Amino acid sequence: MKLSEITKNIDQDEFGNLVLDRMRERDIRYDTVSSDLSLSPSMLRLIITGKRRLSSNKIIEIIKYFDFSDDEIPLSSKQSTVSKGEKIFISYSHKDTEFMERLMVHLKPLERLKLVDLWIDTKLLAGDEWKKEIEKSLNTAKVAILLVSADFLASDFIIENELPPILHNAKKKGTLVIPVILKPCRFTREKYLSEFQAINSPDLPIISLNEHDRELIYDTVAQRIETQFSDNDG
């Protein structure tokens, strides 16, 4: 099979595991691979954990770099189980508004292309029955982005009104839940939340990152959503 055909069918999650295994086998350091492939260490970690999708050219470059044979490369044999939908619900504490606003900048192009319909509480207008509007948006959302911090976990409204339908719909309807860890908090000790893989490591919350790595995380969220919808086309 030609490399161009392989890149169209590759299982990128398993490919990341393959890369990590080869690095261990050859005792190759992250910084060496990052330098040789012109990737930042943060980008490399996102690729290896399957959180960052790769272009066909970059996949081919990595295959050649590690000398992967055709038989080693994992191909996708499954279809995504998440139903295609445009509604995106963003759950956050108002004390973390600056992080929400920056994420919205990265999601704006998807909204402009009419790939997504973003819903945040700032869209509520005067006179709206806010609780019903939130419930309606929660029930129709195909993706829920959770901006997690101590303030998020301390919010009675979020814990009592937003999270229960999000968790229910994740199990019953296949709603995609994407936690983004903003600040150090007890995320990994919350059983109902830690079962969802966060886009970034809880040990590396957004607030601890430099501007480049923050932007990389936000862009990875946007790419994850765009890929989810693209995977379900047809």
pLDDT tens per residue, range 86-117: 789 999 999 999 999 999 999 999 988 888 88
Q: Coil, strand, or helix at residue 82?
A: coil
Q: 65-79: per-residue pLDDT in tens?
A: 999 888 888 887 654
**pLDDT beneath 50, residues of the chain:** 79-85, 125-128, 234
pLDDT of residue 77: 61
pLDDT of residue 232: 55
Give the number of other CB atoms < 10 A from CB of residue 126: 4
pLDDT of residue 2: 66
Residue 177 class from Cβ within 10 Å (0-12 exposed, 13-18 middle, 19+ buried)? buried
